Amino acid sequence: MSEQAEVRERPRCLVVLGPTASGKTTLGVRLAAALGGEVVSADSRQVYRGLDIGAGKDLDEYVVDGRPVPYHLIDIVDLDVEFSVFDFQQRFYRTFEALQQRGVLPVIVGGTGLYLEAVLSGYRLAPVAEDPELRGELRELSAEQLVKRLLALDPRPHNTTDLVDRDRLIRAIEIATHQAAHPAPPAPAVEPLVLGTRWPREQLRQRIRRRLAQRLDQGLIEEVEGLVARGVSWEKLHFLGLEYRYVADLVQGRIKSRNDLLQKLASAINQFAKRQQSWFRRMERRGTVIHWLDGADLAPALELARGHGL
């Protein structure tokens, strides 16, 4: 095989995924530093400015041996912006192509399965304006009828939460109807090498609890209080993820103490980690090859990356 053929077969990017608290960010940053790459975040909350502790940005980790590791798609929009998977996909493709043109390895790091799959599997997404006539028709239908209509258009919807919320159902039908008539152009070839971080269940539970306690010590409650003071609504906090939802309940008196918060939130995050793992297993069933690492050690990850020509 010629050297030119070998280069063509190398992955165009490296992906580090895993459930929350599995060490994927630390590993991804260290891999980027070792391989001369730059991190591209695939996290649905880290795109927002002002979500720091609860979103787990851990920006101090983006310095390795005194040298900063560049990162992308973190702190790119304000909280009053509705940022969709389509927005992420478009931003990602622009970033990906820019890094490729500079000869820099993109190291995609994150645990938001929908965002990862949108770019790794090349979801055909396109901007879709509201259709008042269609919406008027859909408002007359029952929830069951809406679900049937969506599944007729899209038997495998990307986001199953669209099936349980009426407004999201209507929007999903609107998008699927538009896409059926206006197919999106093909996505760029990402061609990834995908690494996954995993731990035995009990160890992951311990890591989740320990990290949550650290974030409370770092000022997670104060961060939420500051968001409320800036005018972020309780409803918005509810949709910004478990940490913001549960701490908002504490601030409103629905959770009575910090210890009660720790117990309830740690349990909820454990359930969330299971859902992340289920999503990754589904990605594998759909054809994504994930090379699982026991833990988040750099050496075996580097060996895999270099074994694939990176």
Which residues is 292 bridged to in the sheet?
196
Question: Looking at the structure, do residues 265 and 284 belong to the same domain, yes or no?
Answer: yes
For residue 262, the number of C-alpha atoms closer than 13 Å in the C-beta half-sphere is: 13
Question: Looking at the structure, do residues 201 and 136 belong to the same domain, yes or no?
Answer: no
Question: Looking at the structure, do residues 145 and 220 belong to the same domain, yes or no?
Answer: no
Structure-token pair, residue 182: 């206006």
Determine the pLDDT at residue 179. Answer: 73
Determine the pLDDT at residue 158. Answer: 59
Helix/strand/coil (H, E, C) string of the chain?
CCHHHHHHHCCCEEEEECCCCCCHHHHHHHHHHHHCEEEEECCCCCCECCCCCCCCCCHHHHEECCEECCEECCCCECCCCCCCHHHHHHHHHHHHHHHHHCCCEEEEEECCHHHHHHHHCCCCCCCCCCCHHHHHHHCCCCHHHHHHHHHHHCCCCCCHHHHCCHHHHHHHHHHHHHHHHCCCCCCCCCCEEEEEEECCHHHHHHHHHHHHHHHHHHCHHHHHHHHHHCCCCHHHHHCCCHHHHHHHHHHCCCCCCHHHHHHHHHHHHHHHHHHHHHHHHHHHHCCCCEEEEEECCHHHHHHHHHHCCC
* Out of 136-145, 151-160, 183-192, 248-257, least confident range: 151-160
Question: Considering 147, 181, 215, which residue would you say is the last residue of a domain?
Answer: 181
CA angle 67, 60, 242 (to 5 degrees): 145
Contact criterion met (CB below 8 Å) for 116 and 17: yes
Question: Looking at the structure, do residues 288 and 219 belong to the same domain, yes or no?
Answer: yes
Q: What are residue 196's phi and psi, to 5 degrees?
A: -125, 140
Quote the pTM value. Answer: 0.82
Question: Looking at the structure, do residues 189 and 168 belong to the same domain, yes or no?
Answer: no
Task: Write the pLDDT tens digit of every residue in 75-86.
Answer: 999 999 989 898
Query: Domain containing 97: what range?
Result: 3-124+185-307
Choice between 166 and 106, residue whose per-residue pLDDT is larger: 106
Contact criterion met (CB below 8 Å) for 146 and 166: yes
Looking at mean pLDDT, say which of 1-10, 166-175, 178-187 comes out highest. Answer: 166-175
Question: Looking at the structure, do residues 100 and 152 belong to the same domain, yes or no?
Answer: no
Among residues 191, 183, 82, 40, the alpha carbon closest in space to that of 125 is found at 183
Question: Looking at the structure, do residues 21 and 84 belong to the same domain, yes or no?
Answer: yes
Question: Looking at the structure, do residues 97 and 219 belong to the same domain, yes or no?
Answer: yes
Choice between 130 and 15, residue whose per-residue pLDDT is larger: 15
Question: Looking at the structure, do residues 239 and 208 belong to the same domain, yes or no?
Answer: yes
* Out of 1-5, 104-108, 222-226, least confident range: 1-5
Question: Looking at the structure, do residues 201 and 273 belong to the same domain, yes or no?
Answer: yes
Question: Looking at the structure, do residues 214 and 255 belong to the same domain, yes or no?
Answer: yes
CA–CA dist 288, 120 (Å, integer): 8
Determine the pLDDT at residue 252. Answer: 97
User: Binning pLDDT at 50, 70 and 90, where does residue 159 land?
Assistant: low
| pLDDT > 50? residue 2 | no
User: Binning pLDDT at 50, 70 and 90, where does residue 126 land?
Assistant: low
Among residues 261, 277, 297, the alpha carbon closest in space to that of 201 is found at 277
Average of pLDDT values for 272-298? 96
Q: Give the chain's domain count.
A: 2
Question: Looking at the structure, do residues 72 and 211 belong to the same domain, yes or no?
Answer: yes
Contact criterion met (CB below 8 Å) for 147 and 163: yes
Which residues is 15 bridged to in the sheet?
108, 194
Summary mean pLDDT of the chain:
91
Task: Give the CATH number of the domain where residue 229 resides.
Answer: 3.40.50.300
